[in-house]
Chains A and B, each alone.
Chain A
Amino acid sequence: MALQQAGGNGIEPKREITSVGIDIGTSTTKIVFSRLTVGRRYGLSMLPQYQITERNIIYESPMHLTPLIGESQIDLPALQQILSAEYHSAALKPEEVDTGAVIITGETAVRSNADSILHQLAGESGEFVVAQAGGDLEAVLAGKGAGAEAHSQRAAGTIVNVDIGGGTANAAYFNSGSCIGTLNFHIGGRLIMLDKAGTVAKIYPAARQWLNREGLWLQEGEQADWPVLQEVTRRWSELLLEVLLKGSDPQACPLIYGHQDLPAAFAKETTVTELWISGGVGALMEQAAPRNIAETARYGDIGPLLAHAIKKTAGHYPVKLQAAPGAQRATVIGAGVHTLQLSGSTVYADPNLLPLRNIPVIELVWPVQAQDVEQPDEVLASIQAAFAAGAIRHGSIEPEAMQFAIAIPEITHCSYAVLRRIAEAVTGCSRKYKLKLCILICENDIAKALGNCIYLLSQGRQACVCLDQITVAHGDYIDIGIPADGNYIPVAVKTLVFNSTN
């Protein structure tokens, strides 16, 4: 019919969002500003849905050395100075920045003051800037920033993007446009530092232990032995690629850390067709191979040698190797450009209750695998279990202060009867735990209907925020922004794992 086409073709006003990404890494700190464009996805005869249609980088900072005080602390005043100078260069004020993320990566995440600094900087950097940390997240953001995620949508097979920086190597597997697993390694260019003359200046504990076990002799303050350095980087490359490309058991790899998202057998089954290397080490692959210690030590560490060892080792595998475009800035671009999600537009939220920050996510588990939630008792039991878990994990002495979000996984067929059952159970539980605010995140597009139902069941007494089309996982934290034009709600999903490299 005539009406179905009316207004559907690009007459929607464009909206722009200014976003910042700040990456505080083991060796370098970088900042990017980008402009995100939001557009309506379907014609007017469909439920309104908004998405980010364009991502343009408007300013990239040069690389700054991450300022440290001694061995264990990040130098906050020095870092603030760097940031303020970069905001000035970009001609932007923090209050003009709508969203973004500060991410603390690699070895820097284990500094004693990492947590407090991260939250302070997030608060100072703009309106809705979130704090991020953790190897898995870093891997995913780097893969998105490098463009591996987008590329996997067009390419056959699986693309692995490994972001290799100073202290860690974070790998993310992408297939058909989504991340299917991550792995993190204690492999990095700066784990062994050299001075210009080739003397070992510092060895990080993560590398020290491994060197001792392997019987490789490198000592701080002593001249590094060229064959030993070659041997170290060769073995690191082999350990890395054996797991990533050949599917060796990650548990057996001595350099792996954190939890493994990827089942051991996974890499065996999937066909990795392309290996992308981002991060500082990825950028070094493009330069000439170092021929001696002096050439290796030009940045004060073994990065150049590691880059070329990986390049050489990858030649033994049937994959296409490439340095990721914009390699060194992949993570910061990922943080600045890919952190924000937009909720579905048919949601239930009183704008007076927003924004909300640092809300932990509890994942509800439906009883049957087929998500057949027609069983009233089982629906009730599942919802009660999720609320109980939330109360145990995030309850405080004052019940008023308790806040968590329940993630409701997919329901194959969400009839009104099922919706009503969920609403009844949620309303009952919210009352039982005296929740001031009930926060729900649905995988199905049912948020508005569910919110309406809860409002009516509680006679308007239960405050509720109900969102959908946001991807969250158990243990994530979310920030929920203020709705733009009442059309969509910006949401940032955060993963904070500070002790991940321990």
Chain B
Amino acid sequence: MVFHDPEGMERLRKATPARIGTGRAGTRPTTREQLQLRLDHAAAVDSVYGSVSSTLLDELELFAVDSEVTDKELYLKRPDLGRQLPESSIRLLRERCIQAPQVQIVVSDGLSADAIESNLRDIYPALLDSLAVQGLTAGTPFFVRKARVGCMNAIGDILEPEVIVMLIGERPGLITSRSMSAYLGYRPRSGMTDSQRMVLSNIHQGGTPPVEAGAHLGSLIARMLELRMSGVSLEL
């Protein structure tokens, strides 16, 4: 592409990850651009249907349980099932986890296994560091396959933590398929709503840096414990 003001175009491009200044062939996108778009779309689909490797879970010593959902199609169609745990998972949690911890860390693939694969190694140890610096203690961390954010209520009912932090893959987009969010709740129990939770979003290498997100979570959790609340009523 030849631009009237290439310097200015470059500046616009740097200001946004959106697809701008890509040119056209007649009234349609160029073949190159069309292929790039399909490639990015395929990557997004792959990360929804992908799964987190057991290598990663073993490395970070996380055991895995299932949500009420058995396959990805059902997961996409029935968000309510992603918020519930089957009897087998409940039993496993009761057996293996410390009851009523100060902080419960939960990881889930959610809508992007890719997000967990590419960020967990960085955010998780930084989160543990920040809890240690704040003098907070964490319970037994674990991984839930195909969970929704609301699953923290079901987990809260069983383990009764003071604070839960859930690291979960975000819905992938065409810019990145690797974005992760950290959802936080003070005393998560059945009936807790979105407005009572907090989120640190857009965690990936090109967004909120995973290590710094982990470090910030510790201070957020400390503040939640201090004021005994979370969500929109918590002033930061």
Contact = CB atoms under 8 A, between A and B. Distances in A.
A47 B195 contact: no
Contacts of A448: 130, 212, 215-216, 219
Interface string A436-449: 00000000111111
A3 B211 contact: no
A3 B200 CA distance: 10
Interface string B109-124: 0000000000001111
Interface in A111-170: 156-157
Contacts of B195: 2-3, 6
Q: SS class of chain B's interface: helix, strand, loop or mixed?
A: helix
Nearest to B181: A45
B194 A48 contact: no
Contacts of B32: none
Interface residues of B, number: 39
Interface stretch (A256-264, A297-305, A408-416): A408-416
Contacts of B214: 416, 449
Interface in A398-445: 413-417, 419-420, 444-445
A44 B235 CA distance: 10
A85 B70 CA distance: 78
A446 B212 contact: yes
B179 to A, nearest CB: 12
Contact of A156 (B5, B209, B236): B5
B129 A449 contact: yes
Contact of A452 (B11, B126, B149): B126
Contacts of B216: 47-48, 346, 448
Nearest to A448: B215
Nearest to B200: A45
B7 A157 contact: yes
A1 interface: yes
B201 A4 contact: yes
Given A3-B197, A4-B201, 6 more contacts: A46-B200, A48-B236, A414-B209, A449-B130, A449-B212, A452-B215
Interface of A: 1-4, 6-7, 44-48, 156-157, 176, 271, 346, 348, 413-417, 419-420, 444-449, 451-453, 455-456
Interface of B: 5, 7-8, 11, 121-126, 129-130, 132-133, 149, 181, 194-195, 197-202, 205, 208-216, 218-219, 231-232, 236
Top 9 closest pairs, chain A to chain B, by CB: A448-B215, A449-B215, A449-B211, A45-B201, A452-B129, A416-B122, A449-B126, A452-B133, A416-B125
